[in-house]
Amino acid sequence: MTKHEFEVAMTCEGCSGAITRILNKLGDEVKFEIDLPKRLVWIESEKEMDILMETLKKSGLEVKYNGTK
């Protein structure tokens, strides 16, 4: 599975909580990790990067793609 790294402008637990709930809606095929202080989100999934990007953008926060890890 490809591991993608995104930078998401999270500033508090509320924001990381929202990202967690949004990614949980993608179902169990997606594994993810959130580092709030570094504002990074790693997602392991077969889904296309731009689908993951669109999903993260639902949070209303700014999202940047850092590439695969």
Q: Is 66 in the site for another protein (CB under 8 A)?
A: no
**Burial status of residue 11 (CB atoms within 10 A of its CB: 0-12, 13-18, 19 or more):** exposed
Q: Is 64 in the site for another protein (CB under 8 A)?
A: no
Instruction: Give SS3 for 21.
Output: helix
Is the Cβ of residue 24 or residue 68 nearer to another protein in the bound state? 24
Closest separation in Å from C-beta 48 to another protein: 20
Subset of 34-63 contacting another protein (CB under 8 A): 58-61
**Token digits of residue 35:** 């580092």
- Residue 34 β-bridge partners: 41
Contact positions vs another protein (CB under 8 A)? 9, 11-15, 17-22, 58-61
